A and B are shown apart, each in its own frame.
Chain A
């Protein structure tokens, strides 16, 4: 709250008592802004802001982007190997030795504040909006003249409202009672989380003495709290859905291989890993050969991660798992061996460290739905992705000929074989399908977490829990179990902390299975008890 007081105090000072010490950004002041003690640099920046010009604006931008360099007494802005003298904007030869400018958080904050001050009077609504958001974080009276000036110029209605709120935050400590009351009303309309603490600060003993204002404050705090509580509740639901969609995705492939063939695939986690590494490779190819289309690498990665994992799955089925049908518990051992080998294989080729998978820019960041609730784009995308995968798989199973065969083999293998279904082939296809879906899940996981050799190990227990809880051979069961566990986990986490929440969920599963040994959706009829 107080962190920018110094800067804005100086700004205010500058605007109020502008003295013509410098007509524009001088080389000396450019240097003073770029090097030296942070206190001195911030002072120099404030002094330069007295007479803002384009050169200063460019310098601030360059400092923030790490493109400002120091060579001797000169501050240069270096972009693509070309140097520009910061103080004049003139081009200059690039010296052999340039020093980087080191900005720590405090310096960067001062620079961002300066940028915001520029932005407040920009022509672009977006820039002005950002500037206001930036200014919102620190509300103190020293900025009042700045806000007033901006208010006078502002034409956009919504921005005007935001500025009014900013102004109110500053006026809450005004000596005029009416102004304080007005400020409270204006602040109640805002739902910034910081408003609550601002109002609470006023409620502390001895700060606000007028009973009428105190009453207004109490109601205001209540209103704001209610609104914030909504954000929190929605937040829990969203995080639960997000975790649930991930659990569902990682378990879906397993539900198919296990439900269909009774194969306990301990290497399922490694199929996730293969999908994630396929995504990593696609990303690298895009970065190297198509840097322009980098943001869309994920579109290509989705089918390729499916294919990579499906291929590995088909090979596994043909070479190992095929020989173990009817011995479900033994597939556990063989696939455990496969899993060890796949992990070590990846370690040999890619190293034991994690590999970087970057979110495309359209999956970075988030959308702010409520002042205290930001939904990250990558998580939203995964929820939709899970939905599409579910839709795709259900269509495949219910509408296609392959799906018909798969259902037939699941329900009664020998009967299907008698009807002329090549069950061996169906097995391979189905296993490859399950593996491919695991690959898709791996592709999704690469957007939220680690991509490393151990990626799969972290999900294997969870995915088995989902499948068992949902009931074997039931897509719907997997959906409900995944989402249910996700939401349950997140509700508990807010209450008991992450560690206990996880333990409680596991104990819940154990107890639940005691009550319903076949999961949420038990297979009915003859096949249930054989």
Chain B
């Protein structure tokens, strides 16, 4: 928790020394849940006939895939906010950049099947461009674009973070300038001249690696892949948090001044976790785009980034499972409310955020722990 913004208040909260990691049993459970997800889903979707009650519809598969992408973002946010105490209001930018890198490849994969039957993406034909701009160099190569998926957000985060952390920008100031950054990027991508399809962004993808995207099997593949990536990131984060490096991060969160005095150069700790977090978001974006079928600058709007923070907070900061639960809970609630109460869902969502911050400062995970602790006492 960062208290710099409220100069004279007593240290408001002293975070627990090391958040109690899940036990071995918990680890097994979490791994099992995810493993089951990635095995059961394909079976339910592809093997079980559509008439069966156990059939999982394509809609459910793509929704699940989408939410798992969000969960990766929330996890990335948790590393930087929950464990290092730096709130980013610009993670949507990294997510979108990863998505754009993937989208460029997908646009090239359309080949001549677009509206204008040209080698160039439709929007370029439309703008009378004869060749793709330099930013599109290499976009036909899957490997190259996959490198960009992590490299572009990573590099941007590194440069931005280097200057910001070196200047000791903290707390709310940092949050606000990350917001300015993503807002500026959104305006930039809205421009048609920027060369990424303007407001319409990229849509109408046809295939990945030559395989059609609009099929159940591709959707299931992507969904499973997302699940595996999420699991992988989860385990990685777990390892990070348990390591000495992770403990220094948490120390920075709790009292950066003391860490500095102890002789650590916090700049590199913060910068590395910040960059890693941005790269995770980039990967999430790349998985997201083929599943939802569109990427446009709307993903860079400040509101989108705030939502990432909200998933993390609702689920429970400084726990690794919390953000994942939060992403599922909030996005699931939104999906349900927008259908069940299209006119009133914002009331529910708004009330949810207020209630969580007021009554559940540790999020859903905190609530569960509290209840479990009470049950244990009894």
Q: List the interface of chain A (C-beta within 8 A of B).
A: 258, 261-262, 264, 266, 320, 323-334, 336-341, 343-345, 348, 411-415, 460-461, 464-465, 468, 472, 499, 502-503, 506-507, 509-510, 513-515, 517-518, 523, 526-530
Q: A336-B310, A411-B8 in contact; A264/B302 too (CB < 8 A)?
A: no
| Residues of A close to B179: CB separation below 8 A | 461, 464
Contact A510–B183 (Cβ < 8 Å)? no
Contact B187–A502 (Cβ < 8 Å)? yes
Contact A326–B167 (Cβ < 8 Å)? no
Contact B183–A506 (Cβ < 8 Å)? yes
A414 to B310, CA, bound (A): 31
Residue among B163, B302, B346 facing the most chain A CB atoms (10 A cut-off)? B346
Contact A332–B169 (Cβ < 8 Å)? no
| Residues of B close to A332: CB separation below 8 A | 87, 175, 306, 309
Contact A327–B173 (Cβ < 8 Å)? no
Contact B180–A327 (Cβ < 8 Å)? no
B128: interface (CB < 8 Å): no
A214 to B168, CA, bound (A): 65
Q: List 23 A-B contacts (CB under 8 A).
A: A262-B6, A325-B6, A326-B3, A329-B1, A329-B171, A333-B309, A333-B357, A334-B358, A337-B352, A340-B347, A341-B347, A341-B354, A413-B9, A464-B176, A506-B180, A506-B183, A506-B184, A510-B181, A513-B177, A517-B167, A517-B169, A529-B4, A530-B8
| Residues of A close to B187: CB separation below 8 A | 499, 502-503, 506
Which residue on chain B has the smallest CB distance to residue A334? B357
Contact A333–B184 (Cβ < 8 Å)? no
Q: A262-B6, A415-B8, A499-B190 in contact; A517/B168 too (CB < 8 A)?
A: yes
Contact A461–B313 (Cβ < 8 Å)? no
B229: interface (CB < 8 Å): no
| Residues of A close to B191: CB separation below 8 A | 499
B12: interface (CB < 8 Å): yes
Contact A530–B177 (Cβ < 8 Å)? no
B7: interface (CB < 8 Å): yes
10 more CB-based (< 8 A) A-B contacts, given A262-B6, A464-B176, A530-B7:
A328-B171, A329-B81, A340-B346, A461-B180, A461-B183, A499-B191, A502-B184, A503-B187, A514-B169, A517-B170
| Residues of B close to A461: CB separation below 8 A | 179-180, 183, 302
Q: Which of B318-358 contact A (CB under 8 A)?
A: 343-344, 346-347, 349-354, 356-358
Residue among B184, B352, B356 facing the most chain A CB atoms (10 A cut-off)? B184
Q: List the interface of chain B (C-beta within 8 A of A).
A: 1-10, 12-13, 81, 87, 160, 163-164, 167-173, 175-177, 179-181, 183-184, 187-188, 190-191, 302, 306, 309-310, 313, 343-344, 346-347, 349-354, 356-358, 361
A262 to B175, CA, bound (A): 13
Contact A336–B353 (Cβ < 8 Å)? yes
Contact A337–B9 (Cβ < 8 Å)? no
| Residues of B close to A468: CB separation below 8 A | 172-173, 176-177
| Residues of B close to A341: CB separation below 8 A | 346-347, 350-351, 354
Contact B12–A326 (Cβ < 8 Å)? yes
| Residues of B close to A348: CB separation below 8 A | 343
| Residues of B close to A343: CB separation below 8 A | 346
Query: What's the least CB distance linking B16 to chain A, in Å?
Result: 16
A503 to B344, CA, bound (A): 35
A336 to B7, CA, bound (A): 24
List the 8 closest A-B pairs by CB distance, nearest first: A337-B353, A326-B12, A341-B350, A506-B184, A340-B350, A344-B346, A527-B7, A334-B357
Query: What's the least CB distance linking B71 to chain A, in Å?
Result: 18
Contact A325–B9 (Cβ < 8 Å)? yes
A515 to B1, CA, bound (A): 25
Contact B347–A344 (Cβ < 8 Å)? yes
Query: What's the least CB distance linking A517 to chain B, in Å?
Result: 5
Contact B169–A338 (Cβ < 8 Å)? no
Contact B6–A326 (Cβ < 8 Å)? yes
Q: A333-B313, A509-B180, A530-B4 in contact; A320/B172 too (CB < 8 A)?
A: no
A415 to B170, CA, bound (A): 25
| Residues of A close to B190: CB separation below 8 A | 499
Contact A329–B2 (Cβ < 8 Å)? yes
Query: What's the least CB distance linking B78 to chain A, in Å?
Result: 13
| Residues of B close to A517: CB separation below 8 A | 167-170, 173
Contact A329–B181 (Cβ < 8 Å)? no
Query: What's the least CB distance linking A332 to chain B, in Å?
Result: 7
A232 to B351, CA, bound (A): 50
A173 to B350, CA, bound (A): 71
A526 to B7, CA, bound (A): 9
Which residue on chain A has the smallest CB distance to residue B185? A503
Which residue on chain B has the smallest CB distance to residue A512? B177
Selected from B181, B183, B306, B350, the residue in CB contact (under 8 A) with A344 is B350
Query: What's the least CB distance linking A342 to chain B, in Å?
Result: 8
| Residues of B close to A333: CB separation below 8 A | 309-310, 313, 353, 356-357
| Residues of B close to A509: CB separation below 8 A | 177, 180
A328 to B358, CA, bound (A): 13
A87 to B5, CA, bound (A): 77
Contact A414–B10 (Cβ < 8 Å)? yes
Query: What's the least CB distance linking B323 to chain A, in Å?
Result: 14
Contact B313–A330 (Cβ < 8 Å)? yes
Residue among B179, B353, B356 facing the most chain A CB atoms (10 A cut-off)? B353
A266 to B4, CA, bound (A): 19
Which residue on chain B has the smallest CB distance to residue A473? B7
A417 to B17, CA, bound (A): 31
Contact A510–B180 (Cβ < 8 Å)? yes
| Residues of B close to A499: CB separation below 8 A | 187, 190-191
| Residues of A close to B8: CB separation below 8 A | 411-415, 527, 530
Query: What's the least CB distance linking A281 to chain B, in Å?
Result: 22
A515 to B173, CA, bound (A): 13
A528 to B171, CA, bound (A): 13
